[in-house]
Amino acid sequence: MKRLLISGLMCSGISFACAAAGAQDLNTLGVDELYELAREEGQVTVWSLSSRIAQIEVAFEARYPGIDLIGLDINSTNQIARLVAEQNAGINAVDVLYLSEAPTVFGQLVPQGRLTHYLPPRIEGQIADELTTPLATHRLSTRALMYNEAAYPDGSPITNLWQLTTPEWRSKVLMEDPTQRGEVLDLLTEISLRSDEMAAAYEELFGKPIEVADHLDGAGQQFIQDLFDNDLILIASSSTVRASVGDKNAKEPAVGFMTYSSMRDNEQEGWALQIANDVNPGSGILFPAVLAIANNAPNPAAARLLIDFLYGDDSDTGGPGFEPFGVAGDYAARRTIKDSPDALPLEELNLWQIDPEKTAAARAEILDLVIMLQ
């Protein structure tokens, strides 16, 4: 801190250039010290995978007067493309990225030096080590099979993923376009990596071993082809998927892959979304949503202050910084924050936790397959 103050005096006030030069010191500062520097910067821009950033904007500005939070709701796929394009053009306009797509983020953006790791000092030791590198996880999110529990009050109509490839469910399975939404591509990639499990599930449902086409590699890829051949419906908007599956008044509604936390809007939207958790061999994937600082962020102190705020306070809910994300289907990486009582406990979720390195290695092949099948 002493070095920062001396630098500030030499620069006739704490400027962006001075704060950037002291980035290593910024990582060790407490909240009050960061706030003093952040007020000089005056603003912070975040790209967020969640529209809930609008609630954070109000809470953050109330907690830290004098700092304008500019929150943009941008899905992870578009965040990645925009960051690369802007940085390649010498534009440094964003401070914080809140995104998923760990296979691409960890495998490409981090090695290319486009993102900076930051974990607030006050929460060190409160997050499992494997969720702190190469970037810090904020929460664990999902892409899971969801159904309409108003239409199916006795439980999910799907108990085996291969049912989705049968005539009964033709044109009645929805997901976002995996060529446009990376988390969905990660879901299909994980299914391809679980070929042994998918083969066993096939034999359980149909009573015979699976036959895999010569041009495909394993039962997982065969499932993807059969799903597309069964007139899988691809939708551009996640909200459309949720509304189509969850509408309480729908007759024989479809099922769909979406985030488990979609059920948070059930009451407000008149939906009846529920996770199909008891599905063989799995209901979907669990993956990290991470927080990172953009390389050459224009407001580095405010960026760190915002990330600190997003991790929540020391209450069970995390307070206003985390409460918008503390809904059924989202699981705080900071395990001092309690999960929503309306959701299944994390350890009971029948979801595959992705291995970003393995997913990254297989992703391109599955993308090619999806493009061929569309």
pLDDT, tens only, 265-276: 999 999 999 999
CATH 3.40.190.10 domain position(s) in the chain: 2-140+287-339, 142-286+350-373
- Residue 343's pLDDT band, with cuts at 50, 70 and 90, is confident
User: Rounded to 5 degrees, what are φ and ψ at 210?
Assistant: -75, 145
Task: Determine which helix (DSSP H) or strand (DSSP E) holds 44, and give its type and residue range.
Answer: strand 43-48
Q: How does pLDDT run across 131-151, given as a tens digit for each residue? A: 999 999 999 999 999 999 999
User: Rounded to 5 degrees, what are φ and ψ at 160?
Assistant: -145, 130
Instruction: Name the nearest CA neighbour of 324 among 71, 102, 119.
Output: 71
3-state class (DSSP) for residue 95: coil
- Chain centroid to Cα 360, Å, comes to 16
Domain 142-286+350-373 is classified in which CATH homologous superfamily? Answer: Periplasmic binding protein-like II (3.40.190.10)
pLDDT reported for residue 328: 87
The two tokens of residue 274 are 């529920």
Q: What is this structure's pTM?
A: 0.88
Cα–Cα dist 108/215, whole Å: 29
Q: CATH assignment of 2-140+287-339, given 3.30.43.10, 3.40.190.10, 3.40.640.10, 3.40.1710.10?
A: 3.40.190.10
